[in-house]
Structures are given as C-alpha cells and as structure tokens.
Structure 1
Amino acid sequence: MANLNVKINDLELKNPVMTASGTFGYGLEFADFVPLNEIGGIIVKGTTLEPRQGNDYPRLAETAQGMLNCVGLQNKGVDYFCENIYPQIQNIDTNMIVNVSGNSPETYAACAEKIATLDKIPAIEVNISCPNVKSGGMAFGVTCEGAASVVKAVRKVYHKTMIVKLSPNVTNIADIARACEAEGADSVSLINTLMGMAVDIEKRKPMLSIRTGGLSGPAVKPVALRMVYDVAHAVKIPVVGLGGISNAKDAIEFLMCGATAIEIGTANFIDPAVTKKVKDGINDWLEAHGVKDVNEIIGAIQ
C-alpha cells in the first residue's frame, strides 16, 4: 500500500480525503455506511456562536450535474455543540474538525475560542464564504480586507490549525488567499459553492425560498480545479481542494493541481460510502503507477 499520509501545518492526516462541512452531519450519521476511522478528516456542519434557524423551505433544488442549496447554517450554536455533540464524537479515530462561522470578526473569534477548549478537536475551518446568510458569511470572503479581519481576530484566540474556507464568488481568489496567509491562516480550503438560481416555470417563481443558493456538485469541478491551481501557486501554506469531487480520479486531479488534501461534499448524498472508495481509489492509482507516496503527485502539474 502506498503512503497516503499528508500534513496541513501540524495536522497529520492518515490520508488526504476529508468530508465537506454540511454534507456529512457530525460523522455519526454515516457510521453505518463507512468506517469513519478510514477518513482523513471529518469537517462537521457549520457552527455559530448563537443558534441559527436557517432559511425557510424550500432550500434544496437539483440542477444539471449538481444541486443548489440555501440551508443558511442551521445549527444549535457552539454551546450546544460543546455540551452535547462533542462528547459523542471526541473518540472517533480521525481528525474531527469544526466549521466555524459568524456575522462579525468578534463572533467568529468567540466561537473559535470555545472550540479551542476541546482537546479532541485539532483544527477548525473558518467559513468566510457561505452565500446563504443575510449577514456575515460570504460578505467577509469577497474582499481582502474582510477576509483579513476575520482571520486576524480568530488567530488571536485560536492556536491550533486554522483552515480558512474561501468563496469562488470573487474577482481574484488568489488575492484573498494571500490576505488570509498574511494574517496567520495555516491553510485555505476552496471552493465553497458558486452563486446560482433555479426557476420553476409552472409556478413562475424561484425554486429556492431566498431565490438564490450555492451550486455544488460535478458542475463546479472545472472552476474549482482552476482556482485551486491558481491559489496553490500564490501561497506557501497548504491548500485543501473541493468542488465536485465524486471519485478517485477527481481527487487526484485536485492533488496534481496543488491540493494537499481534498474534501468530498455533494457526492456523500449520492453514495454515503464514497469517501472510503475515493481513498482506496487513490491508493490503487498510486500502486498502479509505481508511486510510493501520495505527496509525490501533489502539485505535479506546473
């Protein structure tokens, strides 16, 4: 078997396959379908300082080669997570990572500070790119100044590995990545969903309650690959790639474009065991091509 171990700053992953926040619950929901200890990292659903109800229904719509969502970061808040969810997931034998969001640099930092007290949570993913909330979220991820303000605030209180999740709905994503790196981000993950819309022509109205939502799935993969390649050549910190990954071939493309690790999102809804299949598929490809270490192919495309 090839060596699949990769590192994101001080965070060691047994393989480069992780789950994307919002598509894998808290991991527990998938335990009957896939051995959780074989996943490199599980990024749990978005967590905010205060509870959030999310957006009104309908908030999911299928599209060609993908789906739109406007869930809106529905969760019971960080205190509920610490008191009720953390005890259930702390002994899962992989990296349990919390996706953190907020509506100001201060609320991001306050949420991250609470997560920092949890011994078995080795990293957070700071979400500055959610397109489905009325305040905060993507607003911070579309300017260098906004991104930097959140990363700076979180870095002051959070000293474990910080991954920052970037929005593709920008003019130059590499500039945003550099701003995050300058303020102390240990890694950046990209891409979050692309803004999109679907219409019900019989009802003559949008299919989503707030009109627009985030597009994910295979349709966004070419955009994601290009952005991962650009960012990997713009920063020195590790890049985590996501966007339309459905199989091992997709994952290897992201690794070759410069991603140190990858996240699988929408594909979990189609096949709840896809993470293990992708991990095994990466290993099979490496062995078939005489590659002994996955790190040899990271950034292979120059």
Structure 2
Amino acid sequence: MSVTSERTAVHPPPSRRPARLPAAPGRAARPRRTAGRVWPYLLVAPTVLGMLYLLVYPLARTVLISLQDFQLRQLIQGDARFVGLRNYATLLSDPRFWQVVRRTFLFMAVDVALIMLFATLVALVIERLGRIGRTAVLSALVMAWAMPVLAATTVFQWLFHSEFGIVNWALKELGFASFDRYPWFAHGPAAFVILVALIVWQSVPFAAITLYSALTTVPAELYESARIDGASAPRIIRTITFPLIRPIFMLVLSLEVIWTFKAFVQIWVMTNGGPGDATTILPVYAVQIALASQRYDLGSAVSMITVLMMATVLVLHFRQLFRQEGEAL
C-alpha cells in the first residue's frame, strides 16, 4: 500500500457542507433601515413632548379661558361658562386698554432703538481694540449679561433710592440741590426712563457680542480696498459693513423686539406698573387684571392679544426682510 493511500485512509478528507444560499434581498436590511429611520424621531420625542406640555398646552389653556366667564368662583368650582368673544369686545372698548397698547409700543420702540444703537457702537469699538482691551470689554459684557434679572433690578432700585441712592447723592454733590431725596419712582416719566435704562443695560451685552461676532466675518480686504479708494468711515460702514452683517443685525433686532415686548419681571418688581399707569405695559396689565380684579378671563384675553400683536409685528418685519433679500439676489 502506498504512502498516499495510507494517509487517505487514516485522515479522510473533510466533508464539504453545502454553502448557504444568500438571504433574499430586503428581508434583513428592511428592519435595519426601519430602525435607522425611527431612531432619530425617538431621540427628539422627549424634547418635543416637553415643548408641547410647556408651551402648547398653556397657550391652548389661555385661549380657552379667554373665551369663558372665568373668575374666582369658576376657578374654585370649575363651572366656567363659554361666552365667545365677549372678553375681547370688553377689552377693545376700554380706553385704558388702548392707552396701555400705545405705551407698550412706545416702550418697545425706545428700548429697541437704544439697544441696537449702543450695541452697534460697542461692537465697532471692540473690533478696533487690541487683544487685551477686547478681552476686558468682552469679559465685562459677559458679566453684565450673566447678572440675574432680579439682582440687576434690585441694583437699580438702590441706585435711584430717594434717601440712600448714589444717583441723588452724586447730583446733589454736583450742585443740583433739587435732587436731594428726590423720589424717582413717584414720578411717572422718571420711572419710565429708569426702566428703559434697565432694559437697555441688560440687553446691550448680548446684542453687542452677537454683532461683534458678525463683524469678524467681514473680509479685511474689502476694508483695505475701500480705504485705498478714499472712502470715509461712515461710508464704509454703510456700503460694506452693514450689508454683510444685515441678516445677523435683523435677527438680533427681532429678538430684542420679542424680549422688550414681553418685559414683565423688571417692571413688576420695581414699580408694579406705577405710579398710576405710567409704566404699565401689556404683560403687566394682564397680571393686574387677573390678580387685582380676579378676572382671569380678561387677563387671558390680554395675553392672547399681546401674542397676536407681537406675531403681527414679527411677520411684517420678516416679510420686509425676505423681500429685501429677494431683491438683493
């Protein structure tokens, strides 16, 4: 017997198993594709549900209350009666409501104009500073921006305190004896100006930092070319800087309109809308009606009118913005 036959007899060749047929296309891949499509929605589902609970439900509840006769008795017993648009008709026929509306738009216009003016100037100054100066100014802006609203409001209250305020002391030292123990918050125009200053002081840091970030995206070559052509600084800002940062500028403007329109905490803590109605704007007016008169239906109606007014202003603003962008393209 040969060696080859012996090896074959001792070690028989392994049997070959039949190869598996490939799975039908689409059977195994389909569950994976389905899971891959569903997984992103599962990840964002908690956020969406939380937003619906925290935003949509209160808004829907406010709309419902504004269409009912909902006062203190209905709040306790829960037997509110549907009255349709009667609450809105009551508000729209009230002269005080329209005075508050005019004051709200005046407050918003003054605040937004001053915020955008000072923020633009601060951003332009930061751009021209050196590294150390830029770091110092940005740090100061961030610290001012990080201060809580209640803390900043309390600081302004002490600054303009009639007896212990540093503003009255400084004015008296400068020779203005009439400001000795001057009650700032007892005079409507003075309280209005103080609140405007507070809102501007709190809002300028965010707007300035955002606008400065937009300024850093403008190519330096454009500035050099404009200076070589003999363009002045105002003309450079008007023809180069502003057109390039206009989208960010308009975005900041829209945000400031929203934040100023719904300002409540500062006014409520500092003046409660007084003296009289000198500092009462729509959010404060809604709370005054709901708490003082126990008319939660009218307060909800004021809130919904505030939302509609703010949405209308923003829609008109964005429509004009998109029209300008379309003309530019």
Larger relative contact order (Cα-Cα within 8 Å, sequence gap ≥ 6) = 2
TM-score (normalised: structure 2): 0.22
Work out which of the two has the higher radius of gyration on C-alpha atoms and give 1 or 2.
2
TM-score (normalised: structure 1): 0.23
Higher percent of residues as helix: 2
Higher percent of residues as strand: 1
